Structure 1
Amino acid sequence: MAVNLADLNFYRAVNPDLGGLNDPQAFQHLLNNGLNEGRVFSPYIDLNLYRAVNTDLAAAGLTSNRQLYDHLQNAGVAEGRSFSPVFNANFYRAANPDLAAAGLNNEQLLDHFRASGINEGRASAPNFSVSFYLAANPDLRAAGFNFQQALQHYVFAGMREGRTAAPGGPVAPPPPPPPPAAVAPGTTPETAGNLGILTGTRTFNDFVGNSDLNDYYRFTLDQVKDFDLVVGGMTQNANIALYIGEQKVDGSVGLGKLIGGSTRSGTEEESISRSLGAGTYFVRVFPYQSFYSNNNDTRYTLRLTATPSGIGDIAGNTPRDAFNMGVLNGTQIFTDFVGNVDLDDYYRFTLDQVQDFNLVLGGRTQDAPVQLYFGEQKVDGSFGLGQLIDGSARFGEPDSISRTLGAGTYFVRVYPRGGFSGGHTSDTKYTLRLSTGGGNTPQNSRTMELSETAISPVDNDPLINNSTFTNANESAIQTFTANGSDLTGGLGNATANLLVNESFTGGKDFTSLLATNPVETPDFSQGLALI
């Protein structure tokens, strides 16, 4: 009997680009794309650990994540193999005599732990007992963590921080990630070589020419990153193009619009450097063609590099979701991103009296205009976008708006400049500065101090570094209170949200996931794995 491994609510929550997919679409995306992209689909399953511990699988030719997933689903769980730092079927049976007396097999034990055992605080692995972990970490208890939240904190942060999670037991170090598998380009977007989530630098050597007119590569970004592409080592002329991926009805991703390219003459290196938002992208390498000569046959070296930009997604994408800074008094500064995957950033503020208002938009690598609107109160008392009252759309220099404004509610819109004649939209980071009354002291700076200083997932842990956590928590409470977030559903306060956000790389917001506890009442009766 095959066991269901996929937690689709969790999969959608940790992959915001999939939020609009229903269960069948999300499951098909996981099988067709997500697994080989290395996307997380369950806090209980670690395919890298499964690969590292069960070396006979690689010897049998099972190396891709999809192959490992299928084997674990159809055989590995039933055979009692290790696949998780927080669950071991043989240990779970031995530590819980009532389950052994009930005659539960290995697959039933996994289902029991996910549905009941975790909420009961049962010990589940030699190096992990969720009740011990919560008892041994008063900072998690103070944050209001329940057992499920504590398990997820251990998986995504506690192991990395070296926290002990069982009586007298050492922390179980996660296995090193496997080296990137060799990827061959495809001749069409549908067969593009899939690099998965692009982190750091990847290099490829291949060929284009008369017999191979197109080489396509596909990659995914899980957050805003600074992206660099270089093609060199050519003996003849070859060009490059960069496209954004476009999600289809069936959940798969195909070629979208062109967003960048390089067509230098001769054997000069081709390159693209820009900021890109989270999403899927395609690179096309192709030989130069002319009316007077055949296609140029040439080898090439392709180097792709993606490094985190150090910014989050603060602004809302619609007026309804606008970041609400409350009463603007003094100066506020925001650093964010707009582009093909984030076409509008909206901010909302209120003035309680007549004020001299100043706006400056700079720090961009591409052009992005800015607009100022009146807020319009609706029948239900909420505010939406009203009349446009000013704007600025300069080329190659900062945009600014300066004027006197009366008391009321206002919206600021930042958006990327679209290309002419259907050309691509510009991807760019930006810094937005809003001030009133000539104030020079930022009252609530949004230039990512939290992620860089207090909640960096690599260098700082506010759970164990009180000197950085106190101020960060105060800023976080301001952030989430101003944004209208409801943090009461199981987390209790902004402290818990900080603990969770620092636990995950990529700056994702897991408040909704942990607050609603999608694995608390999972439905394992649907055989999704058999679809």
Structure 2
Amino acid sequence: MNKKLNRKNFMIRAGFSSVLFVGIVGVSLSAVLTAEAKDWLKEKGFLKPSSLPTINSSPSTEAPLPTSAKEIDVDRKLVAQASYSRSNNIGVLTNPRVFSDRVTSQNQENVYFFSLAQPSNISLYLDNVTSSVGMRLYVDTNGNGSIDSGESVDSRTAYSSSAGVIKRTLGGDNYIVVVKFSGGNSAYNLQIVNNTNDAINVGSLKGTRNFTGSINRNTREKYYRFSLSNPSDVRLSLDNVTNSLGMRLYVDTNGNGVIDSGESVDSRTAYSSSAGVIRRRLGADNYFVIIGGSGGNTNYRLTMFAP
């Protein structure tokens, strides 16, 4: 008992000492505290729960890279040429799709077309590059098969050290993705995922449900959907991991079947040495759980319980 108290007191002292240190050298508190200390302080109310750094929320809150009128005009001409062949026409996006190709000084852009039958949480990942490569997402709002002013949705750049990632809640419509030459000749992988369609539907949560899975380059996040018919004390536990892995809980407050801004409820991180656990009194509603992170490839076990 005394050892536990001493350990907690040490973490609290470490937290307050970190605040002083932050004031002196200007580094963030999250960069100073250990992961276990932050989780303990969060549970005790010293720190407010924050978004996991390993999982991006949907829709994306990061400002898209600026796209000039000249760049849009170049993309418009490219799409007009590509629309004749539509060799990369995905059609209605249901299952995850992966494309491997190259951009060079001679072939500077590749175009991909997809559509959504209903609102969906979509992720686009651009990686495996040796030089910087750009990615732009457009919505064909007027259905003319081309890019027009005001149809730019988001843009990101992939580097050899980091992926370019777009996460958005998109409506039922037609979309165009342009992958662009930027810093030099490079191969790339483009992965487009409809997370809403790919989600595991748990149904009404009653009793204990166990799920196992793997997070890797092919499956970077996994969505689970469940409902509660009555207010319940819910417990979510994430364990059996070999690398740190995040778990995030959302409530579908507007009942549109997708995750929107402002619907985050709680988040935790699982480590090889300790489980990530969310305990919440939840109302009768529909919920999403997202498992994912950038700590490395890992298997996991997710346990859901409601009495």
For normalisation by structure 1, the TM-score amounts to: 0.23
Give the structure with the larger strand fraction. Answer: 2
Structure having greater relative contact order (Cα 8 Å, sep ≥ 6): 2
Give the number of the structure whose alpha-carbon radius of gyration is greater.
1
Give the structure with the larger helix fraction. Answer: 1
